[in-house]
Structure 1
């Protein structure tokens, strides 16, 4: 019997607002900015990169670049993406 595998895609499991909230919260609490960027990218992919691009007025290509590992997007870009995901950035 042959076993087949596929690459893990976190975005496939981010299918409800509560899951997305907890995922982003956990990534933020880790304190690792690269991990947070990956998490935001996974949520954007789960929500639909075209839709997020439309809401942020960024091209899909620029959005993928901004959310890629080892990228250094502007804070404004991250703010737009987070808001397009239906979330808010806050200091408490």
Structure 2
């Protein structure tokens, strides 16, 4: 029996699927529900969105450097709340507060 080659798999990157503001909002809300207490998880989700939008464009809109943006949105990043607000607003999103369910 001849050996078959294993298929090449590519790593899933959510940034490739975040095409519209609605996609982005749904993704970020799902991430907030899933990992809301984990700032690294949320920073990584914001990083996914930033890559989908273009890091250079987002850096320009936030007034942050590309390096600063990458650092803030890295898995081990710990962005300030002010940085998160700048990033979210530059993405065309807003943060809302609602009672817990």
Task: Please tell me the root mean square deviation across aligned C-alpha atoms, in Å.
Answer: 1.3
Between Structure 1 and Structure 2, which shows a larger proportion of helix residues?
1
Deviations 1:3-30 (A, max 9, x none): 2222221100111121111000111122
State whether structure 2 residue 77 is matched by structure 1 residue 74.
no
TM-score, with structure 1 as normaliser: 0.90
Aligned structure 1 segments of 4 or more residues deviating by more than 4 angstroms? none
Choose 1 or 2 for highest CA Rg.
Answer: 2
Give the alignment partner of residue 88 of structure 1, picking from 70, 91, 94: 94
For 1:69 and 1:27, the matched residues in 2 are separated by 14
Deviations 1:5-59 (A, max 9, x none): 2222110011112111100011112223222111111001101111100000011
* Deviation larger for 32-41 or 63-72: 32-41
**Alignment length, in residue pairs?**
92
For 1:61 and 1:34, the matched residues in 2 are separated by 17
Gaps of 5+ in 1: none
Gaps of 5+ in 2: none
